[in-house]
């Protein structure tokens, strides 16, 4: 699936998007897989309360299922306006 990162999450990980091969059942499982990869991922996902997630461009929750999801995006709370 496509995994996208925005704002300081993108800066910490060092790339805006990537293709991830995963069998993670939920967003939280995917986060655990990513955290285990490298320190920069662990740093980006250190505090989930500081993060939001969107599944196929709809805001979602970390316990949500990834079944059928094509695009996951991680970012900090939004600051528009």
Partner 1 sequence: MRISVQEAPFELGAESDAFAAGVAGAGAVVTFTGVVRDADQGGLTAMEIEHYPGMTEKALTAIAEEAMKRWSLADALVIHRHGRLTPGERIMMVATAARHRKDAFEAAEYLMDYLKSRAPFWKKEILAGGGSDWVAAKDADEDALKRW
Q: 10 Å Cβ neighbour count for 7? A: 13
> Which residues lie below 8 Å from residue 15, measured CB to CB, with a gap of 6+?
5
47 scored as a contact of partner 1 (CB under 8 A): no
78 scored as a contact of partner 1 (CB under 8 A): yes
β-partners of residue 3 are 18, 72
24 scored as a contact of partner 1 (CB under 8 A): no
How many residues are present in the chain?
Answer: 81
64 scored as a contact of partner 1 (CB under 8 A): no
7 scored as a contact of partner 1 (CB under 8 A): yes
Residues lying near partner 1 in the complex (CB under 8 A): 4, 6-8, 54, 57-59, 73, 75-81
């Amino acid at each position: 699936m496509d995994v996208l990162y925005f704002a300081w999450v993108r800066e910490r990980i060092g790339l805006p998007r990537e293709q991830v091969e995963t069998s993670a059942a939920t967003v939280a499982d995917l986060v655990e897989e990513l955290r285990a990869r490298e320190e920069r991922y662990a740093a980006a996902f250190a505090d989930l309360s500081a993060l939001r997630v969107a599944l196929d461009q709809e805001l979602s929750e970390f316990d949500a299922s990834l079944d059928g999801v094509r695009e996951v995006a991680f970012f900090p709370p939004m600051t528009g306006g």
